[in-house]
């Protein structure tokens, strides 16, 4: 590894003092020389041309779910390691890996960033039309829990009880806002508390709906639920549900990854030749059930 001195790093400088442009140019030149020097020293270590997935703070393994729903199978990718130390989340990951027939290996990831040239320029996907909020919710299921919405009523009126909304009732009053046609950002703490409320349905947002918002198939959610209840001390459905909802709130949305990963892999020449390049989220008219349909189609015979 190059020393800090090689790049002129380490000298004491006033934090408010800008570096001379000549010194910046020297740094850039040194970095370019370093990359060129090491460019061909590290060869890709691949297993039968498979894409190797290393998950840092794995959560529920959103990238694995996304790739699996895009058509990747065990011959196309493998899990080579991760940094998730939470035993409950490990159970969720085991359920995900088992569903997609992946084995977990404890080997180090061999990065080959210097050895890959871009096949095409990476471009972010075009935005999609926002689907109806109600399509992600089981609106016909009515509960009997009437939460204290005094601060919401004061701001938005009593009509909120008749609107299809998802409210963050765990937020402080100054952050309690009504989002028309949108779900508030699902965060780990609030999901784990089950702190999102559906006023018209008189109940809390549940695990299946939370998974649906994150693009996770309901069947995969149920498998994670079963695994957590069997293998951890969260043996009740409610306790396991809170753990999984917390992990969902801590994870990247599968639908986002399914739109970005194919373009990134294509640009890096890593998209399997056997798979058709596709963007199912741009092609479907029913986005709320898309993950369920993709999962069912992929594992219909399991």
Alpha carbon separation from 201 to 104, 134, 140, 147, 158 (Å, rounded): 41, 11, 8, 11, 15
> Do 143 and 118 touch, CB atoms closer than 8 A?
no
> What pLDDT score does 272 carry?
86
171 vs 169: CA distance, rounded Å: 6
**How do the pLDDT tens digits run along the chain, 302 residues long?**
444 444 344 444 444 456 677 878 888 888 888 777 766 655 544 445 678 777 765 567 888 899 999 988 888 888 777 777 777 887 888 888 888 888 765 433 333 333 444 456 788 999 999 899 999 999 999 999 999 999 999 999 999 999 999 999 998 888 888 999 999 999 999 999 999 999 999 999 999 999 999 999 999 999 999 999 999 999 999 999 999 999 999 999 999 999 999 998 888 778 888 888 889 999 998 999 999 999 999 876 55
> What pLDDT score does 188 carry?
93
- Tokens describing residue 246: 């917390």
> What pLDDT score does 268 carry?
79
One DSSP character per residue, the chain reads ---GGGGT------TTSPPPHHHHHHHHHHHHHHHHHHTTTS----STTPEEEEETT-TTTHHHHHHHHTT--TTTEEEEEE----HHHHHHHHHHHHHTT--B--------GGG---SS---PPPPPPPPPGGGGS-TT---------HHHHHHH-GGGGGS---EETTS-GGG--PPTT-PPP--HHHHHHT-EEETTTTEE--HHHHHHHTT--HHHHHHHHHHHHHHSS--SHHHHHHHHHHHHHTS--HHHHHHHHHHHHHHTT-S-TTS----HHHH-S--TTHHHHHHHHHTTT-
Chain centroid to CA 16: 38
The model's pTM is 0.72
230 vs 217: CA distance, rounded Å: 20
> What pLDDT score does 12 carry?
43
The residue ranges of every structural domain in the chain are 51-127+254-298, 133-249
> What pLDDT score does 8 carry?
43
Name, in order, each residue with C-beta under 8 angstroms of 66's C-beta and a sequence gap of 6 or more: 215, 254, 255, 257, 258, 261
> What pLDDT score does 40 carry?
60
């Amino acid at each position: 590894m190059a020393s800090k001195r090689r790049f002129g790093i380490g000298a004491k400088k006033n934090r408010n003092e800008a570096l001379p442009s000549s010194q910046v140019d020297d740094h850039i030149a040194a970095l370019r020389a370093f990359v060129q020097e090491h460019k061909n020293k590290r060869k890709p270590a691949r297993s039968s041309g498979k894409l190797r997935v290393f998950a840092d703070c794995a959560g529920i393994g959103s990238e694995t779910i996304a790739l699996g729903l895009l058509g990747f199978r065990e011959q196309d990718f493998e899990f080579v390691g991760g940094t998730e130390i939470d035993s409950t989340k490990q159970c969720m990951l085991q359920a995900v890996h088992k569903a997609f027939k992946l084995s977990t290996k404890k080997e180090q990831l061999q990065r080959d960033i210097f050895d890959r040239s871009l096949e095409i320029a990476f471009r972010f996907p075009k935005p999609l039309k926002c689907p109806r909020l109600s399509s992600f919710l089981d609106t016909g299921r009515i509960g009997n829990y009437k939460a204290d919405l005094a601060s919401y009523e004061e701001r938005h009126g009593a009509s909120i009880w008749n609107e299809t909304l998802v409210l963050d009732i765990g937020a402080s009053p100054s952050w309690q806002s009504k989002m028309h046609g949108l779900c508030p950002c699902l965060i780990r703490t609030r999901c784990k508390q089950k702190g999102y409320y559906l006023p018209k349905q008189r109940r809390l947002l549940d695990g299946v709906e939370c998974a649906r918002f994150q693009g996770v198939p309901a069947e995969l959610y149920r498998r994670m639920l079963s695994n957590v209840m069997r293998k951890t001390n969260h043996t009740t459905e409610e306790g396991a549900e809170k753990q999984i909802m917390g992990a969902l709130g801590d994870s990247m949305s599968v639908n986002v990854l399914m739109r970005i990963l194919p373009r990134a892999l294509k640009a890096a020449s890593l998209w399997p030749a056997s798979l058709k390049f596709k963007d199912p989220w741009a092609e479907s008219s029913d986005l709320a059930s898309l993950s369920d349909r993709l999962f069912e189609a992929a594992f219909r015979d399991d």
